[in-house]
Amino acid sequence: MVTIVLVCTGDKYNEWYVDNVLYMICEHGRLEYDKVHIIRDGEGSVYDKLQMFKECTKDQNYLYFDLDIIIKGPITRLIKDDFTLLHAWWRKPAHTPLNSSIMSWKGDCSHIYDEFYWNEDYNRVRYYRGIDEFIYKEIDYKMYERICWSFPFHTEEMFYPVCLFNHGFSNMIHKVPWVQKYKLQEKI
């Protein structure tokens, strides 16, 4: 059993982005899933992602995607039993070599939520750049092999099945020609 997990809090992304990811999973990712879990309550920050670890704890596989991505090829190999996230190979490590735009796990990983929120004020200050550094320094994880690239670092289409736009979502919709064949077409 596979549950797709998405986070759509705040006003940065509208419902089209949720529909778009689900469309691409089926159309290009060739992944059959059993359920979708969407987190909609939150402050609209990256910390809202942590809710998934509190809410998604059944003995099944979970596969999380940020909403600002393009799925252009098969993604079944992204489903992992161990808690797994991206190695950001496309850039220098900076504060962390990780990227949480795609994550997968099986079962109960609520310890990730608990570890952050047992001292939330301190962790929000210490990990002010987001949850990637928190995971890097505080949580045991595995990393995917190279399965994607980040658009801000390489704007041409690459052979990987996923492209991350890392906050460049306006580019994804209207400005990048190669993206148009993969995304859900907007209603006119």
Dump pLDDT digits (tens) for 71-103: 999 999 999 999 999 999 999 878 899 999 999
How far is 68 from 138, CA to CA, in rounded Å?
A: 26
Q: What is d(CA 162, CA 92) in angstroms, rounded to the nearest whole number?
A: 20
Q: DSSP 3-state helix, strand, coil percentages of the chain (rounded to 5)? A: 30, 20, 45
Distance CA(117)–CA(65), nearest Å, equals 22
Topology of domain 2-181, CATH: Spore Coat Polysaccharide Biosynthesis Protein SpsA; Chain A (3.90.550)
The span from the first CA to the last CA of the chain, in angstroms, equals: 36
Q: Residue 73 is encoded by which pair of tokens?
A: 């090829």
Question: What pLDDT, on a 0 to 100 scale, did the predictor assign at position 188?
Answer: 38
The proportion of the chain whose per-residue pLDDT surpasses 70, expressed as a percent, equals 95
Q: For the chain, what is the radius of gyration of the CA atoms?
A: 16
Cα 143 to Cα 160: distance, rounded to the nearest angstrom: 16
Q: What is the pLDDT of residue 140?
A: 98
Chain centroid offset of residue 98 CA: 12
The domain spans of the chain are: 2-181
- Please give the average per-residue pLDDT across 110-126, as a whole number: 97
CA distance 100 to 80: 14
Mean pLDDT across 104-113: 98
The answer to whether the beta carbons of residues 84 and 49 sit under 8 Å apart is no
Q: What confidence tier does 36 reach under pLDDT thresholds 50, 70, 90?
A: very high
Indicate the pairing of strand 162-164 with strand 69-71: antiparallel
- Give the tokens for residue 55: 């809410």
DSSP-H helix ranges across the chain = 15-27, 51-55, 110-117, 120-126, 131-138, 169-170
Q: Point out which residues pair with 164 in neighbouring strands.
A: 69, 150
Helix axes 131-138, 110-117, angle to 10 degrees: 100
Residue 172 clears pLDDT 80, i.e. is over it: no
- Rounded to an integer, what distance in angstroms lies between the CA atom of residue 149 and that of residue 151? 7
Residue 173 pLDDT greater than 80, yes or no = no
